[in-house]
Structure 1
Amino acid sequence: MKANQGRSRMEPAGPGLDESARRLSRRALLRLSVLTGLGAAAAACAGQSQPGWTYVPVASPSAGTPGSSSLPGASPASPTAAASDGGGGGGTVITIVAQTFKFDLAEFSVPANTPFRIVFDNQDAGVPHNVAIYDSGSSGPVLFKGEIFNGVRTVTYDVPGLPAGNHYFQCDVHPMMNGTVRAA
């Protein structure tokens, strides 16, 4: 009886509870905690209005250093997007629309070595897109990299003159959105 410290096996172990009832309430508490946590997680996930994916934004050049870039592999001459309000001089203006993860243009032509503008209309609500131009394919040298932004929004890119030849353009977030730029 020394091990029981004077209590019989049938005596309650706590105020009004025997050992099996105490164990049951611990289990019930554990189940309740787990179910509450799962319910909170499900409610948090169901309430998300944003897409479940993320992307890495493109680094922009420092304000005081035109033409500089902090992108890996980009040379100081690699242009980056200059968002514009659409004002300014004449010249070639190309309008590209992104909708349902597609560009409306498969190719476009511009005069070689002549700056031009791209009016980029992202119609995919809440979806990030951009326009980037590469010398040849997405692994080629970057000739221009436009700002990545969520739709629905329109941005005007000021693009420097491209060397003569065929070049490749794409959305860096969705590379299956691509086409050809002909500079002649």
Structure 2
Amino acid sequence: MGLETALPIDGVLTTQLQKVINWSRRSAIWPMPFATACCGIELMATAASRYDLSRFGAEVMRFSPRQADLMIVAGRVAVKMLPVLQRIYQQMTEPKWCISMGACASTGGVFDTYAVVQGVDQFIPVDVYVPGCPPRPEQLIEGVMAIQRIIDEDRIPPKGPDGKRMPLQIAIPPTHRVRPQPMPLTVGQS
């Protein structure tokens, strides 16, 4: 009742080694969550039973950087936390990918202060940006699927002129329409 019954007994299956390697990489992504704020709640919801990120091969969240190959930066990153983020990213094994989840991780969000990093892409290479404040779990799943499409490409990750990995910087479009607020905003009026 498995694959053996569908294939003939003396059948031959041919493929390219690069495609088999890419298929196995895309089917076993191990995310390293770096969640510091409200985006972390949406990240947890993505792994819960309603959205079930395990259907896409990213089932096991690894909290050890040496066992992870996808870093998900969810939420704002303080300047004091930046060396920790960089160290964790450096400890991850190659090939590795990065998703910047939410407005705070991508641009600093509403925290335009000296203490919050205004975009993690200034310090680590980001492959996929997931917009929103906070983004819905469906958007994060679309970001993981974008990483899988990147992995499916031959010769991934691409190398730059200095031999180091270059980020692909793909932006995922929002999946919702922003509605007007129920009450108009009045500042300084009585």
* TM, length-normalised to structure 2: 0.24
* TM, length-normalised to structure 1: 0.25
Which has the higher Rg, Structure 1 or Structure 2? 1
Identify, as 1 or 2, the structure richer in strand: 1
